[in-house]
Amino acid sequence: MSKQEKQTKFITRDILKDALIGSVKKLNPAYMIKNPVMFVVEIGFFISLILTIFPTLFGDIGDVSHLRLYNGIVAVILLITVLFANFAESVAEGRGRAQAESLKKTKKDTQARVIRADGSEETLSSNELKKGDIVFVKAGEMIPNDGEVIEGIASVDESAITGESAPVVREAGGDFASVTGGTTVVSDWLKIRITADPGESFLDKMIKLVEGASRQKTPNEVALTTLLVGLTIIFLLVIVTLYPLAGYSGVQIPISTMIALAVCLIPTTIGALLSAIGIAGMDRVTRFNVIAMSGKAVEACGDVNTMILDKTGTITYGNRLAADFIPVGVESKNDLTDYAVMCSINDETPEGKSTVELGKQLNTKGITEEAKNAEFIEFSAQTRMSGIDLPDGTTIRKGASDAIIDRVKKMGGVIPRDLEETVNNVAALGGTPLVVCVNERIYGVIYLKDTVKPGLVERFDRLRQMGIKTVMCTGDNPLTAATIAKEAGVDSFIAECKPEDKIEAIKKEQAEGKLVAMTGDGTNDAPALAQADVGLAMNSGTTAAKEAANMVDLDSNPTKILEVVEIGKQLLITRGALTTFSIANDIAKYFAIIPAMFTLAIPQMQILNIMHLSTPYSAILSALIFNAVIIPLLIPLAMRGVKYKPMKSESMLLRNILIYGLGGVIVPFIGIKLIDLIIAPLVMAIGLGI
């Protein structure tokens, strides 16, 4: 599935067809009761329908034919209102199902070569594979299920899952051993241990999530539903009380008018769109190539206060490249360059390759046959250095300054006076210093530079405007960490950070009542990912990391946490904005219906008819029609979300009150008046009047 395919139209012909059918199916009261606000509207429809057949059943008086016609019109409008609400939810679900169908096309029943304990091979269907099975996959074959590479190295095409056409390297050990079922090996071979049982693979979970099968209401959604139910009960009590008071005042109010008043005053707009907003939030995250394990995870993104970020791969590119050779003592730059290149010829790391490349640019003489055939000493965590041993007994080493200093001292060498200053200067520039020595003599420092990704300063500034603090974690020394932190624009940093330090930092922020987000891809990140309120694991990372996190990035881009937080913010803002708009709507409906109910018996109520609506019947029907029509008009906004701009909570609240609060009052006044102008002649033409 390509990125372009993910950018689907708002609604296609198939989605529209399914949504229309779904709107009718959802009329089942057993389903509707899950949405209490719209369930009240459906009950109002049934009562109005009964009154259409038996106009005087509840004691309404007046012309029976007029009552029957009026009740029938109210019933039809209420039915349309419920259908529009169901349509909004069905459209959201349809978009998810459409995406799920495209994912299902990538899930194929393939044949897998299973390697048994005795070394024999057995061919099984991918649907028969069990957790723990060992499979062999070679170039051109599809990986049958999720797993971890235990042997081999190969390029894997993950475009079926991520949409990215460029293959990625997967190899045994480290943080890039995880593979996903449905991807294809394009070169070499892999031996994979299966980590998921049939039906529980990452792709299976992804399909269930995007088609809505696993969606549950989030805590905020439940809280808002409870509020809406409370408001509905309050308005119903008011209306029930209003009926006998009207009778006492000598005002005869048809039951259908009371139902219309109830429907217009309870928060039907947000009640109709609430579920669609939640589904659409999950949909937006998924289309962004991030899989949220629950709606709660997406919602939590919107409440994040602190973001813990790894330096390498997130803030910087992670490939430390040679930028300069700095001699110390009496040594020359040419000699330092030659020796640095000599001990890097057989070094396949980015640091080694970039050292040789920089040396070539400086016309080094260090690329000799003697150096190429020398014994290469690989870097190890114990020695913290690498290098070569020449046949004549000369040893050349490059490595961490303290490791090289210890080596030189043991060999009886002298440490140049300006070495410490040179090392500190490189660290202060945000670089990594590698000291080069030949036998017991130090020649200088290789300046390795880790480049900060472009645009991060602006992005971190946007987070700051949202009130989110950014904390960089790095294993670098404090000087290097401080320089990178300043260049990137993060708020604070933790230098020489170990996995347990990340957990400690998260717990400290949480103890202050803050919600914390972080990214990670390694097994050592799993505890911190589990501790964080929002843990975003990389799809390229280990199984342990993906299981600990509550979100997985298919593109394995650590900086995507920034966009995910914005999507979470947008979800909360959309819900809040439409709730504000819905409740504000009721003010205009109040001024439309209340005067229409009482004007004939109490002429003084005419002063409240500030919209100058034509007749009581046209006023009530206009408010009811507006109440129904506004739902489909707001569906695109609910699906796409309110446009989000980074700003403080106070500014955001004021902006939403002005736009959706004030707009929620003004729009119904205009809408109801326009509808009244259209239907008033029709109402009079059919003889419906008071």
- With contact defined as beta carbons under 8 Å apart, do 205 and 180 qualify? no
Is 338 labeled as ligand-binding?
Answer: no
Question: What sign for the dihedral angle of Cα 11, 224, 467, 452?
Answer: negative
Is 347 labeled as ligand-binding?
Answer: yes
Distance in angstroms (rounded) separating the CA atoms of residues 67 and 50? 12
- What 411-416 contacts at long range (C-beta under 8 Å, 24+ apart), as own/partner pairs, is 411/439, 411/440, 412/440, 413/437, 413/439, 413/440, 413/441, 413/442, 415/442, 416/328, 416/329, 416/442
Q: 60: closest CA among 238, 260, 256?
A: 256
DSSP string, 593-633: HHHHHHTTT-GGGGGG-TT--S-HHHHHHHHHHHHHHHHHH
Beta-sheet pairing, 534-538 with 385-389: unpaired
Taking CA atoms, 118 is separated from 115, 498, 635, in Å, by 8, 41, 60
Q: 287: closest CA among 638, 635, 637, 4?
A: 4
Is 68 labeled as ligand-binding?
Answer: no
Distance in angstroms (rounded) separating the CA atoms of residues 447 and 323? 6
| Phi, then psi, of 496 in degrees rounded to 5 | 50, 45
Is 379 labeled as ligand-binding?
Answer: yes
Q: Record the tokens describing residue 273, joined without a space.
A: 């769109």
Is 386 labeled as ligand-binding?
Answer: yes
Q: What is the CB neighbour count within 10 angstroms for residue 277? A: 27
Is 93 labeled as ligand-binding?
Answer: no
Distance in angstroms (rounded) separating the CA atoms of residues 348 and 382? 19
- With contact defined as beta carbons under 8 Å apart, do 690 and 615 qualify? yes
Distance in angstroms (rounded) separating the CA atoms of residues 451 and 487? 10
For the sheet with 290-292, list strands across it.
290-292, 551-553, 534-538, 516-520, 306-310, 469-473, 492-494
Active site residue 310: yes
Is 380 labeled as ligand-binding?
Answer: yes
Distance in angstroms (rounded) separating the CA atoms of residues 219 and 596? 40
Residue 118 contacts by C-beta under 8 Å, 6 or more apart in sequence? none
- With 0-12 / 13-18 / 19 or more C-beta atoms within 10 angstroms meaning exposed / middle / buried, residue 432 is buried
Is 382 labeled as ligand-binding?
Answer: yes
Task: Let me know the angle formed at the C-alpha of 621 by 616 and 626, rounded to the nearest 5 degrees.
Answer: 130
Strand partners, 307: 470, 517
- Given 283, 310, 338, 676, the catalytic residue: 310
CA dihedral of residues 440, 445, 446, 450 (deg, nearest 10)? 130
Under DSSP, the state recorded for 532 is S
Is 349 labeled as ligand-binding?
Answer: no
Query: Which helix (H) or strand (E) covers residue 634, if one does?
Result: helix 616-640
Q: 289: closest CA among 196, 438, 162?
A: 162
Distance in angstroms (rounded) separating the CA atoms of residues 345 and 174? 24
Give percent helix, percent strand, percent coil of the chain, each to the nearest 5. Answer: 55, 15, 30
Active site residues: 310
- Which residues contribute to the annotated binding site for Mg(2+)? 521, 525
Could you tell me which residues are annotated as the binding site? 347, 351, 379-386, 398, 521, 525
Known binding positions for ATP: 347, 351, 379-386, 398
